[in-house]
Chains A and B, each alone.
Chain A
Amino acid sequence: MAKSDDCLHILQGLLVFGNVVIGMCGIALTAECIYFVSDPHDLYPLLKDTENSDIYAAAWIGIFVGLALFALSILGIIGVIKASRTLLMVYIILMLITFAFEMASCITAATGRDSLTPEFFLKKMLNRYQKSEPANNSDDELTKSWDELMLQNHCCGVNGPSDWQAYTSAFRSTHSDADYPWPRMCCVLNTEKVPVNLDGCKLGVTGYYNSNGCYDAISGPVNTHAWGVAWFGFAILCWTFCVLLGTMFYWSGIEY
């Protein structure tokens, strides 16, 4: 019951608690990243084949990092309770490696998010939506994604239907401006996916076409995704850093 005993027990208790939290956060991180990778809003085709699918790479890394954190936290708890230098050394080394991976994932998610501006989506949409000879499957998927997006969210283009008028596009080269000032999906459709008033839609009469842009509908989920991976990851890293410091301190005090 010496004072050092108390110090020791307190430190052990703190480290065990820290590792329990790390384990739970690891599971939570894995679950969150699996959710993002499953792409519930079907936005991945809009980002695929670009240098900006980083946030998906970050989510994939997050899945494995979460599992590693869980496993390492168990190792850490065992090592702390048994006061085993070997186990704790292994724990520290592996945790540092995991730390580095998680750091990479967070930075990737944060910087990837920064480059997802409206201009980025606009360029992709203008170049590839309804491309006449799709170079590969991803153009088809992009078209389908955009159609689904415009249908579900009652929106048109990135900033609005004027995107199709203000810029030349792959769509414009196959669809005449007189018949299709903007894609049919921008019109208000009935249950059979037929425009309610085609002439009204072509003229831009309020009520027969979707006048707002889809950027909000895209950026909402993408922001949630990126910030979810980045900020939660940084929070875990901060906590893990403290636990690692404590563990190193504890390790250096263990006898041979």
Chain B
Amino acid sequence: LPTPSARLPYVPHVPPTALLGKVTATTFALERPLCVFDGHADASDAVWLAVAFANASSAFRNPQSRADVPPYQQLLTAHSYMTLETAAAAYSCSAPSPPVLRVGGDTACRDQGRQDPCNGPLPSPGPYRVKFLLMGCRGPKAETRWSEPILLRRGICGTATPPRVPCTCLVGVLARGTASALPHLMPLLLSPCSAKVWGSLCPQDLGTNAFIRRSYRTHHIPPALPQPLPPGCGHSPPGLCHSAPQPPAPCQRI
């Protein structure tokens, strides 16, 4: 009768350190089980990692010899496999080694179809449970407990199209306001009464400035004959023209 393997209290787990790639879509990292198998392992023993779907972990039976080890290719049918065969000495307390193991990192052996132990990428997000199994020449000698379920990442299908932001910013409002106000200001400026504004700003005397005088009659010289208001002045926009308190002078349309 095969001797039952010793159950060690160690629980395999994903390393707590902040590693961005410790769980990806097809791989995950585990902390090395250093010092766990000391006292149980001989020099010739090997430590395997058993990986099973979380709902199939209770149905997993330890293989009794190396030949019975379920290979990676059987994961989808048998719902479990064993991989990462490592000499027990690599997990001893004094072994210098990188602190994490990466499960699923070997893409080359996936397609080869051999029955050698293959640390191939995991085909689905899982969740998976793992345990370490110490195998000797005569079968399993010790095993750790099953880990908590490890769920792999799954990418969201792309990102939604970001909506075009309607321009509510002040700049756009100002720009649009300016653009819409400009056409209203233009007739104001080109109206016949801008001449009156000019005259009221720079009051005329009887000087001989030929630049200004000829465009309208000055305030101080009353017109020789009373003339009717031309339509231009009377229909001009309110404000500028009507606020000037002077006798109506003919606005000679320029």
Contacts and interface: CB of A to CB of B under 8 A. Distances in A.
A and B form one complex: yes
Nearest to B197: A249
Interface in B158-180: 158-162, 164-165, 167, 169, 171-172, 174-176, 178-179
B115 interface: no
Given A3-B205, A234-B175, A255 B210 contact: yes
Interface string A152-190: 000000001110011111001000111101000000000
A178 B209 contact: no
A2 B205 contact: yes
A78 B198 CA distance: 22
Contact of A178 (B26, B179, B194, B212): B26
Nearest to A107: B175
A203 B21 contact: yes
Given A241-B178, A249-B189, A107 B167 contact: yes
B103 to A, nearest CB: 10
Contact of A110 (B162, B175, B207): B175
A211 interface: yes
Interface stretch (A56-64, A111-119, A143-151): A111-119
Interface in B11-40: 18-22, 24-27, 29
B155 A204 contact: no
A106 B175 contact: yes
A165 B24 CA distance: 7
B219 interface: no
A176 B209 contact: no
A120 B175 contact: no
Given A203-B102, A230-B171, A123 B159 contact: yes
Contacts of A192: none
Interface string B110-145: 000000000011000000000000000000000000
Main secondary structure of the interface of B (DSSP, over half): loop
A126 to B, nearest CB: 6
A254 B212 CA distance: 7
Contacts of B120: 178
Interface residues of A, number: 59
Given A4-B204, A4-B209, A178-B24, A245 B175 contact: no
A103 B190 contact: no
Interface in A189-205: 199, 202-205
A86 interface: no
B198 A167 contact: no
A114 B170 CA distance: 12
26 contacts: A2-B209, A4-B204, A4-B207, A51-B164, A83-B211, A107-B176, A110-B175, A111-B165, A123-B161, A127-B158, A165-B24, A167-B158, A169-B155, A176-B107, A177-B26, A177-B27, A178-B104, A178-B106, A178-B121, A179-B107, A199-B102, A211-B20, A241-B178, A253-B195, A254-B211, A255-B214
Interface of A: 2-5, 7-8, 51, 83, 99-100, 103, 106-107, 110-111, 114-115, 117, 119-120, 122-123, 126-127, 160-162, 165-169, 172, 176-179, 181, 199, 202-206, 209, 211, 230-231, 234, 237, 241, 245, 248-249, 252-256
Given A3-B205, A107-B176, A115-B165, 8 more contacts: A3-B202, A117-B165, A162-B20, A168-B157, A178-B105, A202-B102, A249-B197, A249-B198
